[in-house]
Amino acid sequence: MRILDLDLDFFQNDIVHMVNDFGNRLNDTSIVPWSKEIVKNYLESNLGLNKDKKIKGRVVKHHNEVFYFWRELILNGKLSTPFEVVHVDGHADMGLGDLSWHYIMTEYLYRDINERIYPELLNVSKYERINCGNYLTYAMACEWIDKLTFIIHPNWQQDLIQEIFKNYDVNSGFIQLKKFKRGKKIDIMNIKQFTPVSYENEIVFEGIEKDNYFNECKFDFLALSISPGYTVKESDELIDVIKEYIEGI
């Protein structure tokens, strides 16, 4: 099955970084949303969407809520795992800037899969808990994803983290989480000196520049995140444009 994972910040002229998605709305006069026509054209010509064939989906406020949406679909038997995610976003959302990767690979992967799917219930620090910037890695640690295609904004700044890639190489074409000794403190600067206890399944990864992506296969579900800390209020006009392609569930 295939999931289209959209972030409203992709449909702006530029990308902001290291802001609080749970604080005030982004107020930056240099950030300008795409025109409605350009958005419609990209949705149809590049992503292959069709207003007459709406995709079941949901609009969420913060991007980590997409994890909970997927979980709901899985538990209700509507979404089978593993699935492909096409991530259309100004950011990779894999954990840059926090310690989620360390927590996942030294503790989280040791937990039963039925416990893993509820990461928001775990008693962890704010640097380790699931959030809008790392939810994809949590989803991969739940064995939900077998292919991740990242559609790259023209002004994207590299935010892939080598720790989660096969051979610690972001250009390897694969993500591969490692399970290190439980509770082990891993030095990020010397991570290659630490030997994993085991390796998780490889996840196919591909990064494709915005104008080079042309989808030819149907999506089963779609999610759109508003991400208020990363999008200006003027971009809200695009929400209704995108919702024309969604059958809300």
Amino acid at 132: C
Cα separation, 14 vs 34, in Å, equals 10
Query: Which uninterrupted H or E stretch holds 86?
Result: strand 83-89
Sequence-distant (6+) residues with CB within 8 A of 77 are none
Q: What pLDDT sits at residue 21?
A: 81
Q: How many CB atoms lie within 10 A of CB 169?
A: 10
Q: Above pLDDT 90, what percent of the chain?
A: 92
Q: What pLDDT sits at residue 240?
A: 97
Amino acid at 13: N
Q: What pLDDT sits at residue 189?
A: 84
Q: What pLDDT sits at residue 220?
A: 99
What are the residue ranges in the chain where pLDDT is below 70?
Answer: none
Cα separation, 63 vs 226, in Å, equals 8
